[in-house]
Structure 1
Amino acid sequence: MSDAFVPYGDADRKLMWRVLAEWARMATPGSDFLARSLKTEFRPAQPSTLEGHMMHKEPPVKLQSSGWILGQPLTKQADVLPVVTFEASGSKGEVRDAAFRVGLFRALDGGRVAEGWRFEQGEPERDGEIGAHPYAHAQAIKGWRKDINCLIHSPHADGDECSGVMDAADDVLTAERQRAQAATLVKHPAFPLGVVTLTGLALAVFTTLYGAIKAREAFGEFHPLKASTDDLREDLVRLSILTR
């Protein structure tokens, strides 16, 4: 990597989008009811758009403006599918408040239920006070937005009060959506991720979902990562995508 590679800097930001483009290329969610439902609600991002547009767009950015990453099934039964988005503020030279949001969907009684996670950059020190989670971490979420508790649908407009249990086909589906929300604690616990770069954060999401073996198969031969040094190299070694 270039000497100009700085965690959460310009080169790190661009490489993160290249990693997301690679992920989008391999994403094959399937064609069953759940996959069709998700592709209708969450328009899949095109790899060329991620590399050709989003990669060069300075923060603030929201991946969902160009689509979503619909991942491969998490189980052999293909009954749990992840949907991933990303957003960040800051500038070309310094990404801030970077966060990936992940919804894990499964079908139930003609509808879908979801539970979610946020993978985000460490919280900065403010007014001399250390943040609650000053390291990259993951914690549970109830919605794609902090102010609306809904993962079932794509993000709502301001003023929309969707509770995340709307459109339920029957009482069973309603009860499960309510159970998932009630069981979700959005402030604690927060699990440290052990990565210090934005590209490492993106790969931590992938590795969390699919494990180190699949992550190494997917990205171990990706040249921009194989050529990495310093902080990014350390992240990749921690994730077992690369060896020293």
Structure 2
Amino acid sequence: MSFEYQMKDFDTKLNRKRFLFIVISLSFLCFWGSYAEFEVGDSISGEVYYSAEPFIVKTSSDVTIRDVLVNDGDWVNKGDVIFKGCYYNDSSSCVEVDYRVDNSGYIYSYSLIKSGESYKAEEPIFYMFEKDMELRVKAVISPELAIKLPVGASVKITASSDIDNIEIVTYGVVKTKSRRVTSSLSGKGYESVIKVLDVEEFLYEGMPVTIFVSGGKFSPLAIIYNSLIKSINKSWINHVRP
């Protein structure tokens, strides 16, 4: 085999490798571009609310949790025992009682409850809903911003936890078409309703949040990263909570 032929063969293989590298690189960039990292654009203030009316689970006297018998999202029937508690009488002796629910529904957001924790009388312990519930955010926005928030538009939602001011980051999509309203705070505008995609248990009804509006989509790596950060935050909050 001549030297000239070997060089041509080498150049052919090299060109093929270059072509393959370019194709792979462009494919990756196209994929990444279609799921671009969420870029910060306009920001607005909003408020968290539940799509269904909750029942607040609480007790008529002080109680110390002994054992939680349900999981977040479980359906329970009226009369089911959802936790065992310890009430203290006048002599400070523990009286064990099974707490039974007065309504049927879904259990929601009890994640921070631990055995041994105490609650005062009438203090909310967790919530129940008669039907499937969505966590939503609503905000009154300008007509210009309403154009950027069609149904299905992606948004980034941030808030500060009441515990150690840890930042909460989650994502949502516009649930309904913006409708014209009159707000006592901001005057005339458009109300936008956003469904929270990744429900974060540290969000509660009435909690103020910041909504970042962008035309971008979500990066899979960004969502994985934020999920990891939230897991670390949850572990830390559970650790520092008295």
| Same fold per superposition (TM over 0.5) | no
Structure with the bigger RCO (C-alpha within 8 Å, sep 6+) is 2
The higher radius of gyration belongs to: 2
Between structures 1 and 2, the one with greater strand share: 2
Normalising by structure 2, what TM-score? 0.22
Between structures 1 and 2, the one with greater helix share: 1
